[in-house]
Amino acid sequence: MISTPSAPPAFWQVEVTVPRAAVEPLEAAWDDMSVALTCFEVDESKDLWKLEALCEDKPDPATLSATLSLVAAAIQSEEPRVSVIRVEGRDWLRENLVDFPPIGVGRFFVHGSHHAGQPPVGSWPLVVDAATAFGSGDHSSTRGCLMAIGDLAKRRRFSNVLDMGCGSGILSLAAARAWACPVLGVDIDRESVRVARFNARVNGLLPFVRAIPGNGAVGREVRESGPYDLILANILARPLRRLAKPLTRMLSPGGVVVLAGLLDRQERMVLDAYAAQGLRLIRRIHLEPWSTLVLG
């Protein structure tokens, strides 16, 4: 079991409800100040969306107001009201062990270490506890990636895999389970790297999975371990777009890229970035409001 700190840190949550046209510019404006951004529709008839940003430090009210004023003016809308609330640290691991039932995605059977039952016959079991790193398999973008990996496993083999932004390492584990090949997991968050290594050990996949800290595709070890015939990137739309050229450069001829962490409405900008690098869409997986794109 992965231990969590005895006094989990507190965060600041910024919430605002805006017209859909304001979501993307606000996401871009708040990207640097937040550790996580989520948005979802709250009123279909008025096309209103709620945007939530989770921040380690309390945001400056003047900066928030200025950002909202600029966005409101750009879309010719009234400046929305924003709320900033302190979110006390909680023992997410203990709480999520109760709420995290086993998940079946194709042949993959993802479960926590607390699960006492046997995996289904013929399944590919993955033990992943809810922890301080992103990725238990419950999020739709992770499900979409697991579906994509399972589908690819029916069609071909891969020999060298890169998992960009590996989080808990669940996609690295899935690739190693499917193809028993080298998988390099990379994440900017050292805690995620620690968790990914732990999960690789728990699942008996250390001979295949290697997790390292790194910032995108610029690290020497990432470059020297390529080229890769499969690249997995479950992050966010804007980083995916920025990574189009460096990821494509590390892809071997005939290789495949699986992209996730983007909303349905963000598909076009991501697809355009990779089309400019010569990749075409092979498969699209919709688990609303999230999309997973398989390119080659």
pLDDT tens string 81-100: 999 988 765 544 444 444 45
pLDDT at 204: 95
Smallest CA-to-CA distance from 163 within 217, 201, 204 is with 217
Half-sphere exposure of 141 (CA within 13 A, CB side): 21
Asked if 274 and 284 count as a contact pair (C-beta separation under 8 A), the reply is no
Q: Is the pTM of this model over 0.85?
A: no
Res. 5: pLDDT tops 80: no
Topology of the domain covering 92-295 = Rossmann fold (3.40.50)
- Enumerate the domain spans of the chain: 11-87, 92-295
Lowest mean pLDDT among 110-119, 134-143, 230-239, 246-255: 134-143
Separation of alpha carbons 71 and 79, rounded Å? 8
Res. 285: pLDDT tops 60: yes
What are the structure tokens assigned to 195, written together? 């968790």
Report the relative pairing of strands 183-187 and 11-19 from DSSP bridges: unpaired
Report the relative pairing of strands 11-19 and 82-87 from DSSP bridges: antiparallel
Residue 36 binned pLDDT confidence (cut-offs 50, 70, 90): low
CATH of span 11-87 = 3.30.70.120
Could you tell me which residue, 214 or 158, shows the higher pLDDT?
158
